[in-house]
Homo-oligomer: A and B are copies of this chain.
Amino acid sequence: MKKKAADVDRVFHALGDMTRRAMMERLSRGPMSVSLLAEPFKMSLAAVVQHLQILEEAGLVKTEKVGRVRSCRIESAGLDSAANWIGARRPEWARRLDRLEDILTEKGK
């Protein structure tokens, strides 16, 4: 159940890029095809696909090709491993505050 360091590395490296984070942002609102995903970006489709590959290798995105269209969606495994890494490095008192905040927010919602 332990995550390998190399996996965490891929995840953070992938999220280290502005464009790739924007793609995650887009995909977090629902799955879509490669060309629809690429639409708002001022770059070639090939470039978008290259970013997509990096996200996929990091376990942040899962894609599936049906016919001639490849559908992309967020895979939470990657984001989970990033969240865990951060959680483990944050000082204990900060984590406690978060938990408090979670509880308070729960009520508000």
Minimum distance in angstroms from A38 CB to a CB of chain B: 19
Task: Please indicate the chain B residues that have their CB under 8 angstroms from the CB of A74 in the complex.
Answer: 89-91
Q: This chain: how many copies in the complex?
A: 2
Minimum distance in angstroms from A66 CB to a CB of chain B: 21
Interface string of A15-42 (1 = CB under 8 A from B): 1111001001100100000000000000
Query: Does A94 contact B106, Cβ atoms closer than 8 Å?
Result: no
Is residue A80 contacting chain B, with contact meaning CB distance below 8 A?
A: yes
Minimum distance in angstroms from A95 CB to a CB of chain B: 9
Query: Does B102 contact A79, Cβ atoms closer than 8 Å?
Result: no
Is residue A70 contacting chain B, with contact meaning CB distance below 8 A?
A: no
Q: Which of A13, A15, A24, A80 has its CB near the most chain B CB atoms (within 10 A)? A: A15
User: What 5 pairs across the A-B complex have the smallest Cβ distances?
Assistant: A16-B16, A76-B94, A28-B89, A12-B15, A79-B90
Complex A-B: 13 CB contacts under 8 Å: A12-B16, A12-B21, A13-B16, A13-B18, A25-B89, A28-B90, A76-B90, A79-B90, A80-B90, A82-B82, A83-B83, A83-B87, A83-B90
